[in-house]
Structure 1
């Protein structure tokens, strides 16, 4: 149930979920157990990943040390991970693990920490990441912070994708507003018809240059079944202002991350909210090792944590594609949970807290811990797998096979990739882009004498060049190259 209030409140009453063996003990009197499941930097990896993205070192090799063994080769124990259907199963299992024995006051929330979309594989990117949004809805995501890649197609497109709030932040844009269904948006049909995210995106430190107000909601307030509140503040790394395309961000100014958080905390506490977490799209780096380790953590998240008020109880971070699970020192306060869950859906962070109903605050003497859990591939959820299969099959058009007179190195694949990327790598003649040339060196895995889905060209474009998805022609209709 979503409530539109000035404080942007979501009332979330958790339903029972079947699952795996019990671990949680019964909640003490006057306490509400809370679970925050978190992912970050998913980048639209709805299908099971391949290559290095699918390989997660989960234990050291025979030498007992992560990294290279005595012979110079990596000898770590590697687990195959990834895929949205496998993540759905893990989320269900972790919720069941948490709730069993925790009592009726337990609350579980699923959150994202930015870059959930953008720089996605073709089965999502071709359709403006609507497939990823559909998957996140099916996973039950409650709220997400923005990352830099949420702005790849511009602020208005992000507002179209994101869940509407109460109209204060200009994000009440209908899912199919401003697009031609099936051509440049709203690609799904029947039960896959696009309705937008069921969750809002947060951005406390991105302000309109004209009004000084946040361009998206700065925080969300979540309720336990007994009415104890938890506020989540979303912030993105300040350096995005100079590292990303200005046309994607619009006319905005950035506030420093810790400053944005510290300005909101007094407002939240004045409303009686004491349990506060931060979804921070900035992170740190550490040597490869235990996904639940914290040794030698360095980078922006360490500095930001030092400057965020001790009133904040935990920080779930992102952006650097690292895995860590830390208790970092806080000047003038107790050590604080700071985590990150790698990237590409390889793992989920499971944060467990206990709220005191009397004070409304996190009771750190009770449960206060986190675990990064690999997304293994034993039992994919059939419902989410059906969504992924629909988009992989693709309501996309096809382009013809290679014809006579092809350029050297040009196949049906290379020409299609050039067509799809003409706005990026074309030659401008008389004010129009009339020739698209794809370097032969970039034409990977060229395929001859076959037809292909429109999105397949994404796999052949020069790495890192694609930002704008191609227009998807109607099904079974040749492209304009004819």
Structure 2
């Protein structure tokens, strides 16, 4: 499709051209000065309005008031500045904002003069009615700025696909919005019934090309709540794209484009810790763009300029929110002797960065769900589950306040149950691997009465090799009652094996709220400690047959994975592998494996003993993890005859027999011919 862009000519310029008869510019005519557009962008702010400092006073979050000061300073330096966002401004927020339904962060962004934001998945945490009415799509609710998305259909009212802003210099910037197509699976599906979330890039391309063809804008910028890149298939109509959702930093410039500047894609991380800055230089008469560049300002950059001089209006909003939350939030509700942590992607990475690994905190919350249902209702569940994305802060050792507990799981989910078969539960475990998605694995927290073994090298949907519930192998045909939050049990995070959206199974809502049950559980278990036993470990056997059987007398190498946590809990140093009478102890490599649950690796080589068709592969770490995998043993190959004693009678007889056997009737024919020739020769000699 031809993209009609930058036909920007003012009436004054056109008149001048007509007057001069389209001749050369008048002598002494003033040269047009290019305009530099300054687009500042945030994403995944999640209500982090307060400035936060960590150990040694190191800055963690700059806070909304410092950010507002920085943006105002940028506007002072360049009046052609826009401030925009790529979604998830609200939802999954710390206590100070979430306890007030995120109104403080919306008030802060209103005061900052946010021009426009893409919708994020967390904007739908409380359902479409909440975001369309209370928050608002069109800037008439608590949000005084428009939320946009080109790929949402079925909403009434519906968000606009784009929003056009004219800058101080008269340049028209069109912002085209999009939100991840995964949204229905990562929010409570009940809240988005009737809405369709199409693939965002294609929908955004269509809207951008429409705007360009209609000459409605001079610059087109995408705001998409998805972890996109320069090679994600964006139309040439786009000059730049601001991404979000993955909480990562992106700063990319694409390849050269004929007649266009290369596409720039940025992503400003999370919580205001980065602020993306896109500069677009454009000729205001011809609309020709001569450069598009970008950078990401850090929290330290923001704090250095504005830490001591925060914006007074936003500072007042933050202070009021902090005071309103303080009294209830600081009430001590429990004490825990040890910390419960989330997973991370590297040794120096932040906890919570890796949702693909088992974590002590996610496991604890699964225990809370199971214990609470069984203690407070007559439903009597068998298994507890928890989704890693619902765990938003670590639980430190010592006194736990209401605010601490709330920050761990701030979504206000009711806890209930779903009845599924053992086969469905196995399928559920298989669905932790999500190839092609922004997070390739989402680990389920499971109650302590469940353990399983998986093969990391297995095909998609065929990795789980053994599941135990209460120490007994799971029965695929039996029914198990699973306890968890409404989001997850309603097939959130694409865990469709629960079957609640297809109608094959029903979510039973107890009305009990997750944070209330969490607090009650902590208070009732003052000596609670992180689980030592890993819920799952990976086992892959080199030397086994395709069906998993092993051969007596052969060597196998037992490759082990997921023997250790990644959050900072104690890890396994050694693992002992036992098969029959053979026992091997090897060290564990605890180098963190990002995005997947494979940290804590080891390999042990053993010889398969004979004498039994069934053996137990016993695995035990020095940190307390124990797992057993039954193995089927087959007999080795039949031993060939020993022909090493050359010239022996038995060897010779065997060789003759073998030759005779192979010659068969053909040998008799040859022998008869030789006898006939000898007879003829004797007759000839006798005649002579």
Structures share fold, TM-score greater than 0.5: yes
**Distance change in 2, residues 1:308/1:90 (3 Å):** same
Residue 127 of structure 2 corresponds to residue 150 of structure 1:
no
Unpaired segments ≥5 residues, structure 1? 1-26, 56-78, 100-105, 166-170, 176-195, 284-299, 410-417, 432-441, 449-455, 471-482
Contact 1:236/1:257 (8 A) holds in 2: yes
Contact 2:119/2:148 (8 A) holds in 1: yes
Question: What's the offset of the Cα at 1:267?
Answer: 2.2
- Give the equivalent residue in structure 2 for 1:327: 253
- Give the equivalent residue in structure 2 for 1:357: 284
Contact 1:119/1:125 (8 A) holds in 2: yes
Question: Structure 1 or 2: larger helix share?
Answer: 2
Residue 343 of structure 2 corresponds to residue 370 of structure 1:
no
Post-superposition Cα deviations, 1:86-127, rounded to whole Å, max 9, x if no partner, equal 111211222223x2xxxxxx5211111111111111110001
TM alignment of 1:254-333, pairs within 5 A: 254-272=197-215, 273-283=217-227, 300-304=228-232, 307-329=233-255
Q: 2:274 aligns with which of 347, 351, 354?
A: 347
User: Take 2:61 and 2:329, find their aligned partners in 1: how far apart are those partners?
Assistant: 33
Contact 1:143/1:199 (8 A) holds in 2: yes
TM alignment of 1:33-182, pairs within 5 A: 33-51=36-54, 81-97=61-77, 99=78, 106-163=79-136, 165=138, 175=141
User: Take 1:407 and 1:89, find their aligned partners in 2: how far apart are those partners?
Assistant: 39
**Distance change in 2, residues 1:35/1:152 (3 Å):** same
Contact 2:251/2:266 (8 A) holds in 1: yes
Residue 404 of structure 2 corresponds to residue 459 of structure 1:
yes
TM alignment of 1:340-419, pairs within 5 A: 340-359=267-286, 361=287, 363-365=288-290, 367-374=291-298, 375-376=302-303, 377-394=307-324, 398=328
Structure having greater relative contact order (Cα 8 Å, sep ≥ 6): 1
Question: What's the offset of the Cα at 1:28?
Answer: 6.5
Question: What's the offset of the Cα at 1:226?
Answer: 4.3
Question: What's the offset of the Cα at 1:331?
Answer: 7.0
**Secondary structure of residue in 2 paired with 1:276:** strand
Contact 1:310/1:330 (8 A) holds in 2: no
- Give the equivalent residue in structure 2 for 1:414: none
Provide the alpha-carbon RMSD of the alignment: 4.0
Q: 2:191 aligns with which of 235, 238, 248?
A: 248
Unpaired segments ≥5 residues, structure 2? 1-29, 338-364, 380-393, 415-688
Question: What's the offset of the Cα at 1:237?
Answer: 1.7
- Give the equivalent residue in structure 1 for 2:265: 338
Question: How many residue pairs end up in the alignment?
Answer: 339
Contact 1:444/1:460 (8 A) holds in 2: no
Question: Structure 1 or 2: larger strand share?
Answer: 2
**Distance change in 2, residues 1:467/1:227 (3 Å):** same
- Give the equivalent residue in structure 2 for 1:15: none
User: Take 2:296 and 2:137, find their aligned partners in 1: how far apart are those partners?
Assistant: 30
**Secondary structure of residue in 1 paired with 2:52:** coil
Post-superposition Cα deviations, 1:220-274, rounded to whole Å, max 9, x if no partner, equal 0000234331100010122223333212333211221221012112321233124
Contact 2:330/2:403 (8 A) holds in 1: no
Post-superposition Cα deviations, 1:252-310, rounded to whole Å, max 9, x if no partner, equal 11221221012112321233124111001112xxxxxxxxxxxxxxxx43442xx1111
Contact 2:104/2:318 (8 A) holds in 1: yes
Contact 1:143/1:201 (8 A) holds in 2: yes
**Secondary structure of residue in 1 paired with 2:36:** strand
**Runs of 4 or more consecutive aligned structure 1 residues displaced over 6 Å after TM superposition:** 399-403, 406-409
**Distance change in 2, residues 1:145/1:395 (3 Å):** same
**Distance change in 2, residues 1:126/1:356 (3 Å):** same
**Secondary structure of residue in 2 paired with 1:267:** helix
Indicate the structure (1 or 2) with the bigger Cα radius of gyration.
2
**Secondary structure of residue in 1 paired with 2:277:** strand
**Secondary structure of residue in 2 paired with 1:309:** coil
Question: What's the offset of the Cα at 1:325?
Answer: 2.0
Contact 1:238/1:257 (8 A) holds in 2: yes
- Give the equivalent residue in structure 1 for 2:182: 239
**Distance change in 2, residues 1:341/1:408 (3 Å):** closer
**Secondary structure of residue in 2 paired with 1:131:** helix
Question: What's the offset of the Cα at 1:32?
Answer: 3.3
**Secondary structure of residue in 2 paired with 1:233:** strand
**Secondary structure of residue in 1 paired with 2:309:** coil
User: Take 1:258 and 1:364, find their aligned partners in 2: how far apart are those partners?
Assistant: 23
Per mean C-alpha deviation after superposition, the further-off stretch among 132-141 and 387-396 is: 387-396
**Secondary structure of residue in 2 paired with 1:116:** coil
Question: What's the offset of the Cα at 1:83?
Answer: 0.9
Question: What's the offset of the Cα at 1:334?
Answer: 4.3
- Give the equivalent residue in structure 2 for 1:468: 412
Question: What's the offset of the Cα at 1:214?
Answer: 8.4
**Distance change in 2, residues 1:379/1:320 (3 Å):** same
**Distance change in 2, residues 1:390/1:271 (3 Å):** same
Post-superposition Cα deviations, 1:190-223, rounded to whole Å, max 9, x if no partner, equal xxxxxx1110111111111xx8x88311110000
Contact 1:443/1:461 (8 A) holds in 2: no
Instruction: Give the structure-1-normalised TM-score.
Output: 0.61
Contact 1:45/1:345 (8 A) holds in 2: yes
